[in-house]
């Protein structure tokens, strides 16, 4: 630690209008916007972009995008991240969390010495899937362009050439999935010596997908006095353990519900059926769902075998269905996902494991053909619909055989 060069991470200066607000006014604002906080000396929320105290070049970019006011997570999250503290943020997808850590990261980069040849990134953002990594990159591109901040996206399933070239040229921001980043580190294509701002986005999904060993390995290569911001839709014990291991004296913000609870915009229907009625019931539901050509239905099964069987059954019956599960090659999974996304194949059959990386907007219906093993899986499954403010429907088949399983 003593030999590490010093760096700046605290940039927050409270605006006079924020400082003047009474505790009662702050409490009222938090209550109205369903904001809960934990930790010592949490800064007051800001109510406008100008109050956040971002430099002009950042504010101009934000206003150019046509946003009127910060979202609740941004109101509370920006002062927290700009103050240089370690932050945990719990908020659902579509809440504006990407900008909550992106804009402070730009301020952070501009306060650091320029990169020298051979230096790795200053900001590292870890994400569970390449889809999310690409979405984050689009935001960084938008808001980093006026400061000439360079970035690259490092993920598996594609050739490494371009990613290696970007890293060799030097980038201030690296957005990565854990597996491919370890690949790059082990082959000496980059290093994490300059990282002083670390973001774990969708931490719960990264753990669901089995990335914990890789995350721990990556963080062990980053200086311990870095700033770490962790984002998650839920706050299960595994995510809590990660925060406790890798963050110091962290402050936490929650928007909406804290518990793993089902989204209230999802209509949940449970039907008690016998095993041999399932296929007929499924067809009846699909006939109704597919009356609207824009609908998309994700069907969950308990095993790969059943996924293949019902996909075959549906296709023979003339339904545009494809399946995705752990035995399929990455290339095929990407293709299936793309067909589903674009609505060419509006019915997709999946197992739990494969579903962890699925981030598709506008899924209108989830059908649990087989009942999930536990309530966490149930919440994750039905949470594929009703995203980013939309409504959704979840239909679950419950058989007498299911009922005898211990919960």
Question: Is 272 found in the same domain as 245?
Answer: no
Question: Is 386 found in the same domain as 311?
Answer: yes
Length of the chain measured in residues: 407
pLDDT at 407 over 50: no
Task: Specify which residues 178 forms β-bridges with.
Answer: none
Question: Is 231 found in the same domain as 112?
Answer: yes
CB-neighbour burial class of residue 188 (10 A; exposed 0-12, middle 13-18, buried 19+): exposed
Task: Assess if residue 180 is contained within a domain.
Answer: yes
pLDDT at 403 over 70: no
150 Cβ contact partners less than 8 Å away, ≥ 6 residues apart: 166, 169, 170, 171, 172, 173
The overall pTM is greater than 0.85? no
Mean pLDDT of the 245-254 span: 92
239 Cβ contact partners less than 8 Å away, ≥ 6 residues apart: 203, 204, 207, 230, 232
| Cβ atoms of residues 191 and 185 within 8 Å | yes
Task: Assess if residue 65 is contained within a domain.
Answer: yes
Instruction: Map residue 301 onto helix, strand or coil.
Output: coil
Between 281 and 6, the more confident residue is 281
Question: Is 371 found in the same domain as 322?
Answer: yes
- Residues 405 and 294: their CA atoms lie apart, in Å, by 36
Q: Where do the DSSP E strands lie in 112-155?
A: 123-126, 151-154
- Residues 195 and 173: their CA atoms lie apart, in Å, by 9
Mean pLDDT of the 166-194 span: 95
pLDDT for 137 equals: 93
pLDDT at 166 over 90: yes
Domain limit, last residue, from 223, 255, 287: 255
Mean pLDDT of the 101-106 span: 93
Domain tally, the chain: 2
Domain that holds residue 304: 266-402
- Average per-residue pLDDT in the chain? 88
Question: Is 91 found in the same domain as 203?
Answer: yes
pLDDT at 95 over 80: no
Question: Is 279 found in the same domain as 237?
Answer: no
Helix or strand run (H / E) with residue 286: helix 278-289
Task: Assess if residue 8 is contained within a domain.
Answer: no
Question: Is 303 found in the same domain as 234?
Answer: no
- Residues 300 and 11: their CA atoms lie apart, in Å, by 47
Question: Is 56 found in the same domain as 141?
Answer: yes
- Residues 324 and 304: their CA atoms lie apart, in Å, by 9
Between 152 and 360, the more confident residue is 152
Domain limit, last residue, from 198, 227, 255: 255
| Cβ atoms of residues 340 and 346 within 8 Å | yes
Helix or strand run (H / E) with residue 232: strand 227-232
- Residues 210 and 205: their CA atoms lie apart, in Å, by 9
- Residues 307 and 314: their CA atoms lie apart, in Å, by 11
pLDDT at 402 over 90: no
Task: Specify which residues 394 forms β-bridges with.
Answer: 268, 366
CATH code for the domain of 75: 3.40.50.300
Q: pLDDT tens-digit profile of 2-56?
A: 578 888 888 888 899 999 999 999 999 999 998 999 999 999 999 999 899 888 8
Mean pLDDT of the 226-234 span: 92
pLDDT for 406 equals: 42
Question: Is 380 found in the same domain as 340?
Answer: yes
Domain limit, last residue, from 255, 281, 308: 255
* Angle formed at CA 18 by CA 13 and CA 20, multiple of 5 degrees: 115
- Residues 60 and 63: their CA atoms lie apart, in Å, by 5
């Amino acid at each position: 630690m003593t030999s590490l060069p010093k760096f700046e991470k605290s940039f927050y200066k409270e605006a006079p209008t924020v400082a003047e607000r009474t505790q009662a006014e702050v409490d009222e604002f938090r209550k109205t916007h369903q904001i809960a906080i934990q930790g010592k000396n949490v800064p007051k929320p800001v109510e406008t972009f100008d109050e956040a105290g971002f430099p002009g070049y950042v504010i101009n970019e934000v206003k150019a995008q046509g946003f009127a006011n910060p979202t609740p997570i941004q109101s509370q999250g920006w002062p927290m991240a700009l103050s240089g503290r370690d932050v945990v943020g719990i908020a659902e997808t579509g809440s504006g969390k990407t900008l909550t850590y992106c804009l402070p990261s730009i301020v952070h980069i501009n306060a650091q010495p320029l990169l020298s040849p051979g230096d790795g990134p200053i900001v590292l953002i870890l994400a569970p899937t390449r889809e999310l990594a690409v979405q984050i990159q689009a935001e960084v591109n938008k808001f980093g362009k006026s400061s000439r901040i360079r970035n690259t996206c490092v993920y598996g399933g594609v050739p490494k050439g371009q990613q290696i070239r970007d890293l060799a040229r030097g980038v201030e921001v690296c957005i990565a999935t854990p597996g491919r980043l370890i690949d790059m580190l082990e082959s000496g294509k980059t290093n994490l010596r300059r990282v002083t701002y670390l973001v774990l986005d969708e931490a719960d999904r990264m753990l669901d997908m089995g990335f914990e060993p890789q995350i721990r390995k990556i963080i062990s290569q980053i200086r311990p006095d870095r700033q770490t911001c962790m984002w998650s839709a839920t706050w299960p014990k595994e995510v809590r353990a990660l925060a406790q291991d890798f963050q110091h004296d962290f402050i936490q913000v929650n928007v909406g519900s804290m518990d793993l609870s089902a989204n209230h915009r999802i209509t949940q229907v449970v039907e008690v059926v016998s095993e041999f009625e399932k296929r007929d019931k499924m067809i009846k539901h699909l006939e109704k769902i597919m009356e609207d050509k824009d609908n998309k239905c994700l069907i969950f099964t308990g095993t790969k075998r059943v996924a293949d069987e019902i996909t075959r059954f549906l296709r023979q019956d003339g339904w545009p269905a494809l399946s995705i599960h752990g035995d399929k090659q990455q290339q095929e999974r990407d293709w299936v996902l793309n067909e589903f996304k674009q609505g060419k194949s509006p019915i997709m059959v999946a197992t739990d494991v494969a579903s962890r990386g699925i981030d598709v907007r506008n899924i209108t219906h989830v059908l649990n053909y087989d009942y999930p093993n536990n309530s966490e899986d149930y919440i994750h499954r039905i949470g594929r619909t009703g995203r980013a403010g939309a409504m959704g429907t979840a239909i679950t088949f419950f058989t007498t055989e299911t009922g005898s399983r211990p919960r």
